[in-house]
Amino acid sequence: MTDVPSSPLSLVVLVSGNGSNLQALLSACANGRIPARVSAVVSSEANAYALVRAREAQVATEVLCHRSFIGSRKDYDAQLAEKVERYQPGLVLLAGFMRVLTPTFVRQYRGRMLNIHPALLPAFRGLHTHARALASGVKVHGATVHFVTEELDGGPIVTQARVPVLSGDTEASLAARVLVQEHIIYPQAVSWFATGCLRLAEDDSAWFDDRLIPPQGVSVE
């Protein structure tokens, strides 16, 4: 087990949309479930409601709008890193950030970046996970928290939550039940990291205390 940080961990959250997972993180920090603080929220969309949530919580906000950005993905991510670094993050969190990050950006925050994905990885990487789950006929769906690596949605799994697919489910109804679980497992994973329980090893394996995390992740009690 690594040392517990002596001061609250600085979190920078990257968003693009509504920000319900951001809200779960803000609430968990406020009530002490996560021994950390959200230092800044950075959005790829100027009108993302997540920015409203951040401002209401008196958290600094930054916008780097990808729709009007002139330049390459590399240029965008270089500017993104500049904004993130202003807040000296101990952990960068992707919470509905709808951009694929370049390898350079990912390497800069290796072992210090988590993502919440609305599927049971390694199944249904990428977009439209709920529609694809329904189309495939799976009986169980869910969400995954994982370390971010250069492989899209392919980093080591930290924890997962499973949700049954019910008869008559629509994309919206399934997504809503999965989202409830996302709001539970993401703050828990961040808390593990903030307290020194969770780490990424040099070989890209994920560890909880002194135990290798199994393929399905650590169970959230």
Is residue 128 annotated as a catalytic residue, yes or no?
A: no
Question: Which residue among 117, 130, 141, 183 is the active-site one?
Answer: 117
| Contact call for residues 26 and 57 (beta carbons, < 8 A) | yes
* Positions marked active-site: 117
